[in-house]
A and B are shown apart, each in its own frame.
Chain A
Amino acid sequence: MQVVIHISLKDGVLDPEGRAIGHSLASLGFDDANSVRVGKNITLDIDTDDASRAHQRAARMCEVLLANTVIEDYEIEVIEES
């Protein structure tokens, strides 16, 4: 099953990259853009047809490698085939 993992910095963790992008947006006239934060998406295919198992495996991958839970949060999205 296809899984998308969204990894973002925890609230309160300084995001200098997001801040720099925010400044750049403001200088381009997008001064209505606030609280810019940068994260990453990891997509992968997990070898199962069971959505809850796919979720569980992805969570394990996040804990072991994909996210540094000291500063990052993760969200897992399992794509159900239509």
Chain B
Amino acid sequence: MRVAVIVFPGSNCDRDMTVAIEHITGRRPQQVWHKETTLEPVDLAIIPGGFSFGDYLRCGALAARSPAMEAVQDHAARGGAVLGVCNGFQVLLETGMLPGVLVKNRDLRFVCRETSLKVEENNQSVFTSGLEAGEILRIPVAHNEGNYTADEATLSSLEENGQIALRYTDGAHIGPYNPNGAANDIAGITSANGRVMGMMPHPERAIGDGLALQDGRRFLAAAIEALAG
């Protein structure tokens, strides 16, 4: 299983993601600097969380136009799998690889806490294919702009095509179950072909082994197993 983690100035979850992937696969992913114009053949490219380019202009906007992201788009066009987490999700939306936009949280506050996520029954993606439909994952979020929105037509087509992968749902955590006001409680979506996924919650921060939560590991391991299969 070959994985690449793209690194921008201001990325800050790149190392956690690298460690998480190494724990699962036993193989250290390659870290790819944003100025690289090509991507070695990989099974999965990951866009990590953080504050790429200081969130200047719009979250993810500058990273989305970097040479490495062009290479990631070529990789996706060949059917390669791509996962964007938090700022990585913002980057994928800015490239247009996924539809919609992430705007400021409903309560205008940075939210950093556990959330409960329901794996959508009808999601048709490689990322959730190894999980139980309807199962609940406990994974934390940490963001200021995680409020997913799109026009009505886009939201309807996401629903109808089974492109919603994860939805915020009730759980034993503090605060409202939807942490940011996201439309239709959307926490993660996938592309029409199910090979590109963006999600606000941070699976790499919930990999057990000293961390309180481990469902992030379950999510990543299931995705990697499905991709390897």
A residues adjacent to B (C-beta < 8 A)? 13-14, 16-17, 20, 64-66, 68, 70-71
Contacts and interface: CB of A to CB of B under 8 A. Distances in A.
B101 A70 contact: yes
A13 B58 CA distance: 15
B65 A68 contact: no
Nearest to B99: A70
Nearest to A9: B103
Interface residues of B, number: 17
Q: Is chain B's binding surface mostly helix, strand, loop or mixed?
A: loop
Contact of A17 (B62, B108, B151): B108
29 contacts: A13-B103, A13-B149, A14-B103, A14-B149, A16-B103, A16-B104, A16-B105, A16-B106, A16-B107, A17-B104, A17-B108, A20-B108, A64-B65, A65-B57, A65-B61, A65-B62, A65-B65, A66-B57, A68-B58, A68-B61, A68-B94, A68-B101, A70-B100, A70-B101, A70-B150, A70-B151, A71-B101, A71-B103, A71-B149
A16 B151 CA distance: 18
A13 B108 CA distance: 15
Interface in B49-71: 57-58, 61-62, 65
A75 B106 CA distance: 27
Closest 3 CB pairs between A and B? A70-B101, A16-B104, A16-B108
Interface in B30-84: 57-58, 61-62, 65
A65 B65 CA distance: 8
Contacts of A13: 103, 149
Contacts of A20: 108
A73 to B, nearest CB: 14
